Structure 1
């Protein structure tokens, strides 16, 4: 076959079908007899001499569609075949990718199983069996085994949990061993192409290949690789759980209404299966930054360690770019890796965006002229900088989805995201090829919020934003017969399986939350708003828990809901009392009048201030 510049045929890779009209075979064109107009997959040096069959297999000399596609890998980047394709040049990246959280989903699996009462916080399972390439770092393990399947004919146990079926049928749609869910906003490929081949939200082909139907769904924008995935590409997965992908763009799901109406009188369409409200976007997004401008190659591709949670894989910090009030920006990650898109010129730091090479000025805290509020929060009360994450004050809002009402029907077998069957092994992770080894699930919720997110202590011992985690109320049915109704679990630690967890919401704002919001609002302390009557929401029987869903600690500092992050917890009583005492002071004093510790140094001084205020009022 004649050599063709690198045309890895992701139209077929990613399942792009042929149009009805097939071109006349031309031995000088080979695959391009049909795929005329297809884009060159990559312009990277060294790839131009690859032919279609170098990546796809198949038969480049065949003269019929059937024989040409025989033994072809539709997706050469799928993790089941990638060692023979991308891995022939990028072996380290491919090996690391299989250990990454994007492949193992270890954090999601352990968090869900912990809240279903079937394991401790430690990660023990992954999508598939995997061994670490490197060991010994905090928050890592040496190996993970595949998540068990669930058998409803056997007694529920640590190794036979409905939570495992929930994961296999629902939650694990986003690992890179699989293709994306088949709906607008979620379409994508598996393997390397999950990130490096762009899909629009509508998932239709926009390229020049005349053989490709441009109306059919589940197609990439074009037959091209990108080294710089867009925010929208990351969003194809990061729209559930912590919802950081949609939050970054200022998107928060609504309660299904789909309003306001569009110009033609129809309702808004759904994205990721939801309707959205549009809130304030993260200031970094508004500045033109994409996810990859902060998150590093090692965080995304993996670095050979098997991390148990995403917070351990994370290496970028706010001070990497902005420094602190007393120290310059490091321009390197917490692990000392240089940020290649940052540079310093004197006191000026700039960031060059990786998608469009836009140069942005990066504000520096050290020596900055601060507002009055900023001076109080970051300098006068130095403990804020020492004990709090930056996002604690600067996250303008956070998605809060309360009450995950999950219903499993064991009479209806359904697809298992870890078990597929197809003659082409690169297509085993595609939804249409999944074996029905799991059961059907439906999900609903109690209510959603975004304002006044709660705070607590994260695994680093710092004050952090907290949001509801997996708050599962399990209802299990066999057709019309109810087996279990609104069941909640108790963790191995003895706390409720309903959870709240720390998060960086990716909703950063220049203007911070007010002192009054954090120091006077009981919801922010984790005590709940006091408005949700959980008992009236379970009219057919007793509520499975006796606390409102926003409330994850009581006034005495007793933890009511679980936290699936080791070391994370709600405020204790002493901390809540100290925070609330400052709130009491704020009723009369402005934040600029508070002492360095947020309160008067002693009672004598406090009494003198009160006396002075009384005298001024006469």
Structure 2
């Protein structure tokens, strides 16, 4: 036997061990991913990767807002708070949380309502939070037969690979996407286009957001007990406007949060989800 053959015999087992170790490592990664995404990442790797940093997966939107304001003032550890109150139940940690039934499963308002029933999806169809009672009116887009995904794009739902700490950062949908796009149709309906010939538009252009005038009503959350999570009294007869971070006047939601007999009142830019015209 030549020296070359002897070396080959020694190297071959090492190569087999190395390949086996790599295979096991990759299998471990696959198992971890499968636990998170039910195996969907096998074909949808890019979507799964983006989704792992999305607000739907991390749940950082609400958590981040509380950490900046009420929780910061009250000294609440939001990681501990989320664990205590099982806030993660609304995090979409698997694809089937939204895509129930797998391929071809239709995404409807009911899909989104599993988690967004406390505000957005409830007010969109004309209800008060948690569908506790009827609100003043439904969003005109709802009455025209539109659903959440007719406005919100895939990057907002699945994530775009960036890490966000609030909905205001992650949501890019604007009224102009449809209403400043001549010839735009949605569900075979021709979309009414923005016109600067309207006096109010000409006067307020670049100063007011569309929702400042075109929202039918907005929520105000009173008596929100962060310590017991009971007693919140949402009302619809108050409407607040403020200057948002982009310099435009927008609707603001007011929230009175209570913790350990102390009260924190906060205001934040808000998309009411109930356009009336």
TM-score by length of 1: 0.37
Per-residue deviation at 1:79? 6.3
Q: Which structure 1 residue ranges, 5 or more long, are not aligned?
A: 1-77, 120-155, 178-190, 198-222, 254-271, 324-328, 330-346, 353-358, 408-440, 476-485, 489-496, 511-618
C-alpha contact (below 8 Å) 2:252/2:267 kept by paired residues: yes
- Is 1:176 equivalent to 2:92 in the alignment? yes
Query: Alpha carbons of 1:297 and 1:227: their partners in 2 closer, same or farther (altered >3 Å)?
Result: farther
Per-residue CA distance 1:182-213 (angstroms, 9 max, x = gap): xxxxxxxxx1111111xxxxxxxxxxxxxxxx
Cα deviation digits, residues 563-601 of structure 1 (max 9, x gap) = xxxxxxxxxxxxxxxxxxxxxxxxxxxxxxxxxxxxxxx
Deviations along 1:465-507, whole A, 9 cap, x unmatched? Answer: 01124x32113xxxxxxxxxx124xxxxxxxx42111111110
Deviation readout 1:202-232 (Å, 9 max, x if unpaired): xxxxxxxxxxxxxxxxxxxxx5644541011
1:247 Cα deviation (Å)? 0.7
SS in 1 for 2:115: coil
Partner of 1:473: 258
- CA distance change for structure 1 residues 453 and 443 in 2, over 3 Å: closer, same or farther? same
* Aligned equivalent of 1:395: 215
Q: Is 2:211–2:271's contact at 8 Å kept on the other side of the alignment?
A: yes
TM superposition shift of 1:444: 1.3
**Equivalent residues in 2 for 1:519-534 (5 A)?**
none
Alignment of 1:182-261 (within 5 A): 191-197=94-100, 223=101, 225-240=103-118, 243-253=119-129
Q: Judging changes above 3 Å, is the alpha-carbon distance between structure 1 residues 162 and 230 closer, same or farther for their aligned structure 2 residues?
A: same
Distance 1:233 1:89 in 2: 23
**Structure 2 residue aligned with 1:377:** 200
- Does the aligned pair in 2 maintain the 1:388–1:462 contact within 8 Å? yes
Aligned equivalent of 1:107:
61
Deviations 1:67-102 (A, max 9, x none): xxxxxxxxxxx9662467111111111111111011
Cα distance in 2 for partners of 1:174, 1:80 equals: 20
Shift of 1:365: 2.0
**2:190 alignment counterpart:** 361
Provide structure 2 residue ranges, at least 5 long, that are not aligned to the other structure.
1-31
Distance 2:36 2:229 in 1: 34
SS in 1 for 2:134: strand
How far the C-alpha of 1:276 sits from its partner, in A, is 1.6
Aligned to 2:183: 348
SS of the residue aligned with 1:504? coil
Looking at structure 1, the residues matched to 217 and 166 of structure 2 have their Cα atoms a distance apart, in angstroms, of: 23
Q: Structure 1's 116 and 316: CA in aligned 2 closer, same or farther, altered over 3 A? A: closer
1:106, 1:309 within 8 Å by CA — same for their partners in 2? yes
Q: Hey, what's the Cα distance between the residues in 1 that align with 2:37 and 2:57?
A: 15
Instruction: Give the corresponding residue for 1:288.
Output: 145
SS of residue matched to 1:251: coil
**Does the aligned pair in 2 maintain the 1:228–1:292 contact within 8 Å?**
no
Quote the Cα distance in structure 2 between the aligned partners of 1:506 and 1:301.
21
Larger fraction in helix = 2
Kept in 2, the 8 Å contact 1:248–1:285? The answer is: yes
Equivalent positions of 1:58-73 (< 5 A) are: none
The 1:362/1:230 distance shift into structure 2, 3 A limit, reads same
Q: Is the 8 A contact 1:395 1:508 kept in 2?
A: yes
Length, aligned pairs only: 247
Bigger-Rg structure (1/2): 1
SS of aligned partner of 1:378: helix
Contact 1:406 1:444 in 2 (8 A): no
SS in 1 for 2:217: coil
What's the CA shift for 1:169? 3.2
Alpha-carbon deviation of 1:307?
1.4
Deviation at 1:377, TM superposition (A): 0.9
Number of the residue aligned with 2:8: none
- Asked if residue 487 in structure 1 is aligned to residue 254 in structure 2, the reply is no
Q: Which residue number in structure 2 is paired with residue 299 of structure 1?
A: 156
Q: Are 2:229 and 1:462 equivalent residues in the alignment?
A: no
Inter-partner Cα distance in structure 2 for 1:224 and 1:164: 31
Q: Tell me the CA shift for residue 249 of structure 1.
A: 0.5
Whole-angstrom CA distance in 2 between matches of 1:394 and 1:224: 37
- Check whether the contact 2:120–2:272 (CA below 8 A) recurs between aligned residues: yes
Q: Confirm or deny: 8 A CA contact 2:220 2:238 kept in the other structure.
A: no
